[in-house]
Amino acid sequence: MSTFDAGDHIKVKRLFYTHHGIFVNGCRVIDFSGGRNVFEKPKALVQARTLKEFEGERGRAEKVEHPGKFLGGLGFWPGPDWEHSPEEVVHRAEALCQAAASQGAYRLSGSNCEHIANWCKCGAHESRQVRYVHAGHAVISFGLLLALSRGPSKWRPALMVVVLASTVVTVYMQYEAWTTPRRWRPIIAKAEAVLRESDREENEG
């Protein structure tokens, strides 16, 4: 028997990341998944799977809390007061499942499984994992600039290569930040239309 309640934001650990989804019941977890490897992830869709399929062979799902802080309070993060009711979370997940059934618009940095789980749970299109990557990249970039300006001259050729690679990563992350809203706007609009239609049918019923 599952220890989760309908509308819970859950996650399961993978090798280098955590995978997120919205629990509906033991036979239905809605997540952003698909593709056998990272190169096939752009084919991922918002879809429903069983809890066992969500966890995989060795994983064990756990509930995600929303503390309202990031990096010990250095940054904003949606807290408990942002959370929708369990019924609303399930409705949002089901609506998004319908809206993105054929156009997932998956991007590792800009729109992944954690982004959509947080949108369903509290309305914020955010990923803590991506934020950690951005914060780490900022620290590394600062360290590289410091090493270039103050380090031995013999280090500079190798450091220039690393700086170039860091610049490419920065451009990619900014591209994701700029283009994600454009890709997701029609999907979110469609999901919200599904929610409005569902509310209208409930009111008429």
**Are the CB atoms for 117 and 132 separated by under 8 Å?**
no
Question: Between 103 and 150, where is the model more confident?
Answer: 150
**Are the CB atoms for 125 and 184 separated by under 8 Å?**
yes
The stretch 143-170 carries a mean pLDDT of 79
Task: Tell me the percentage of the chain whose pLDDT exceeds 90.
Answer: 26
What is the residue-averaged pLDDT of the chain? 82
pLDDT > 80? residue 134: no
Supply the pLDDT for residue 23: 97
- pLDDT level of residue 10 (50, 70, 90 thresholds): very high
Supply the pLDDT for residue 54: 93
pLDDT digits over 40-83, tens only? 777 788 899 999 999 988 889 999 988 766 655 455 667 778 88
Supply the pLDDT for residue 205: 65
What residue ranges do the domains of the chain occupy? 9-204
CA distance readout (Å), 42 to 5, 38, 85, 165, 192: 30, 8, 31, 23, 23
- Which one-letter amino acid corresponds to residue 201? E
Supply the pLDDT for residue 71: 55
Question: Between 165 and 30, where is the model more confident?
Answer: 30
The class that CATH gives domain 9-204 is alpha beta
Question: Between 103 and 57, where is the model more confident?
Answer: 57
